[in-house]
Structure 1
Amino acid sequence: MTTPDHQSPASQPPVPTAKDRIYRSPMALVGGVLLLVVVGWLGFDALFQGHGRTPWLALAAMILIVPLVIAFTLRPAVFAGEARLRVRNPFRVISLPWGQVASLRSGFSNEVVAKSGGKYQLWAIPVSLRARKKAEMRKSRAAAEAARGGEPTRRNFGFGTVGGFGAPGGAGLKSGPTRADTDQVMDELRELLDRHGEAEPAQGEVAVRWAYEVIAPALAGAVLLLILLVTG
């Protein structure tokens, strides 16, 4: 007879795993919503107020444009968990166990490189050269202030602790992060790679799936629009 204090391993509750970190571009989301509003407004106006072939042309254009707008603005996302990195790009979804990730590179675009040699762009984490330039200027300003004797301070602006330097006499120097936002995201992904790359659950094969839910309606809209234009 067993007591409640000695349960078999099979009866033990599963250990909860951390939720995936989700990275998306806020500007892309805002731009996508605005584009959908404009396309919907113009499209439905043509559908209900147009004459002759105009409603059909408007319908075909909407079937083509709406999936493409969603694919390039609302759809892209990067999901980073303990076992794998899942990249949802406009037309593909790539699942890479951390054990198959060779590196995460940042240049004019951010991309993940698999050990098999495959390279996959991270659409949800776009590179902003302007943000990089601003971050470098903040870094140079902070270094110059420190060289003049400013004491380092840390301020919290609601998004985490940001490093800065206080000017002598108590006048604080209001400086932002010295790394661009997307570069900070790539640093976080590299940290996850270093932490989980050799773990047993993070092994497996790279899986790539085409987003037929986006490709099919866009292709149907393009064919319908072409037929209407040719037969018109």
Structure 2
Amino acid sequence: MTTPEHPSPPPPAAPSVKDRVYRSPAGIAGGVLLLAIVCWLGIDAVVAGEGRTPWLALAALLLVVPPVVAFTLRPAVFAGGDRLRVRNPLRVVTLPWGSIAALRSGYSNEVVTGPGAKYQLWAIPVSLRGRKKAARREARRGVGDGPGRGRGGLGGGRSGSALGFGFGGGRATAEAADEPLRAETDKVMDELRGLWDARREAETAQGEPGVRWAYEILAPAAAGAVLLAVLLALG
């Protein structure tokens, strides 16, 4: 007597990596403030102005608002399981992890492709002030690691508190305390490098880079520039 064969269960799907989104809080705050000022002045001129003033104000708003949005609110970096998507002020660059040759940090953070093309990460600006601050904190922490003090000492203090006052059970905290202090944007770049290193050999992370111009920013700004030029030319 034969029994029907049971089909084997399908292999489990590869775990999906949730997209990580990186933005510049300072850029967003500055953009909101600038937009509030520009819109307040422009709308007031449109509503209360006379003659050609409302049209000039409208043209100025069309010309000014898109670049403000582009360079403050728009920049973002989306890191997924298969690709890195960089949304810069005027372009959107889609880079499969396998097409990336390096993620570099100098005076700016940038991604480099295999052929040598470079794209700046506007949403992750380098903070030289943050690096200096982290270096000073690291230096002060090193000075505090003298005899009777420091990361494993029983003399109490800030380091002893972080390790559970030397009574054990603080091993993970101790390892974290031994890591050098770094600026926040440098930590973000370390995260991106770790994800790139883990995913660049994946079959689904291969392909060619793609670049798209931000016509939703360029078109209204160009319309505003043309309208403003026409109004000024007509006198």
Q: TM-score, with normalisation over the residues of structure 2?
A: 0.84
Q: Percent identity?
A: 61
Tell me if 1:199 matches 2:202: yes
What is the CA–CA distance in structure 1 between the aligned matches of 2:4 and 2:17, rounded to whole Å?
33
C-alpha deviation, 1:149, in angstroms: 4.1
What is the CA–CA distance in structure 2 between the aligned matches of 1:19 and 1:195, rounded to whole Å?
14
Larger CA deviation: 82-91 vs 220-229? 220-229
Spell out the pairing of 1:42-191 with structure 2 (5 A cutoff): 42-152=41-151, 169-172=155-158, 178-191=181-194
C-alpha deviation, 1:231, in angstroms: 1.8
C-alpha deviation, 1:62, in angstroms: 0.5
What is the CA–CA distance in structure 1 between the aligned matches of 2:189 and 2:107, rounded to whole Å?
13
List structure 1 runs of 4+ shifted beyond 3 angstroms. 5-9, 12-16
What is the CA–CA distance in structure 1 between the aligned matches of 2:18 and 2:4, rounded to whole Å?
35
What amino acid maps onto 2:222 in structure 1?
Answer: L
For residue 208 of structure 1, what is the aligned residue in structure 2?
211
Tell me if 1:37 matches 2:36: yes
C-alpha deviation, 1:170, in angstroms: 2.3
C-alpha deviation, 1:178, in angstroms: 1.4
C-alpha deviation, 1:150, in angstroms: 2.4
Unaligned runs of 5+ in 1: 154-165
RMSD, aligned α-carbons:
2.3
Unaligned runs of 5+ in 2: 163-176
Q: Is the CA contact 2:149–2:155 (under 8 Å) kept in the aligned structure 1?
A: no
What amino acid maps onto 1:55 in structure 2?
Answer: P
What amino acid maps onto 2:20 in structure 1?
Answer: R
For residue 228 of structure 1, what is the aligned residue in structure 2?
231
C-alpha deviation, 1:110, in angstroms: 0.5
What is the CA–CA distance in structure 2 between the aligned matches of 1:47 and 1:222, rounded to whole Å?
17
What is the CA–CA distance in structure 1 between the aligned matches of 2:211 and 2:140, rounded to whole Å?
44
- How many residues in Structure 1 have an aligned counterpart in Structure 2? 215
Q: TM-score, with normalisation over the residues of structure 1?
A: 0.85
